[in-house]
Each structure stands twice: as structure tokens, then as C-alpha cells.
Amino acid sequence: VMLLGASLVAVELSIIWNFIWNEVWTFRDRGEDGIRAFFKRMGQFNLVSLVGLGLNVSILLLLHHLFGVYPLTANIVGIAVAFTWNFAANNLWTWFR
């Protein structure tokens, strides 16, 4: 199995898993009913998550390579920023009331 392909599949499966849990737990009282609305939210969630992934990786690389921040610390900062982005964007866009 190619490393990049396996990684991309793992990321997408993680995004789908997180979407399902947000749909049935975190934001269960929001969103329109119906299959079309469900897949629209899934697409929005996917887009938000991919932007979050880009933020995480960009911050990690920027902090580590440009500022010499220890990789674990840089990754924790990237994760915190991506987490904040993901929750805010999904709260305001994907599951907007």
C-alpha cells in the first residue's frame, strides 16, 4: 500500500467518522432533515476539516522550520488552532441555526 494513499484514506475516514459523531451527538438538535441536507452538511464538514488540516500542517511547518520551535510543541499549537477553526466554522456554517 502506498503511504500517501493510505494516509489520504485514513484522513477521509477520520473526517467521516467525526462528521457522524457531530451529526448524532454534538449538533443533533440542528440541521435540516433529509438525505440531501445530510450530504450537504457532510460536504461542508469535509471542506472545513480539510482547511483545518491545512492550518495544522502549515502552522507545524512554519513554527518548526522558520522559528525553530520543537516539533511536538509546534504540532500542539497547530492542533489547537485547527480545533478552534473546525468547531467555529462548523458551528457557524455547517450546523448554522
- On whether the CB atoms of residues 53 and 24 are closer than 8 A, the answer is no
Cell of 40: 450537504
pLDDT in tens, 64-88: 999 999 999 999 999 999 999 999 9
The full set of domain ranges for the chain reads: 3-94
Question: Distance (Å, rounded) from C-alpha 55 to C-alpha 61?
Answer: 10
Question: Distance (Å, rounded) from C-alpha 10 to C-alpha 3?
Answer: 10
pLDDT in tens, 29-44: 998 899 999 999 999 9
pTM reported for the whole predicted model: 0.89
